[in-house]
Amino acid sequence: MEEPKNLQAIMGLITHSGNAKSCAMEGIQEAKQGNFKAADKKMEEAHNELENAHNSQTSLLSKEASGENIEITLLMVHAQDHLMNAITFCDLAEEFIDLYKDK
């Protein structure tokens, strides 16, 4: 079987998005324990992972914008789902951490 085109960018989206979500969850857990510096550090890591995921996505968007035909596969849709979930989860994690800080 032939390796799907753009596999590296697609896997970057999945990997970095998953890492971002995991870091955000760890941030919530740290805040729950009152460890706000650690929570902030975890959220910084989450945002760095989101930036890496966005870079993977941008590489695909740039190719398409320059006229390259980008095949939409189930794996690519899956990767985009991971990114959108990670963004939403990180946004909500920030809110949870703020709530724990205000407690």
> Is 102 known as a binding-site position?
no
Number of helices (H), then strands (E), in the chain? 3, 0
| CA dist., res. 8 & res. 76, Å (int) | 11
Is residue 78 among the annotated active site residues? yes
Using alpha carbons only, what angle is made at residue 103 by residues 25 and 35, rounded to the nearest 5 degrees?
45
Catalytic residue, from 16, 47, 54, 78: name it: 78
- Binding-site members for Mg(2+) are 81
What residues are labeled active site? 78
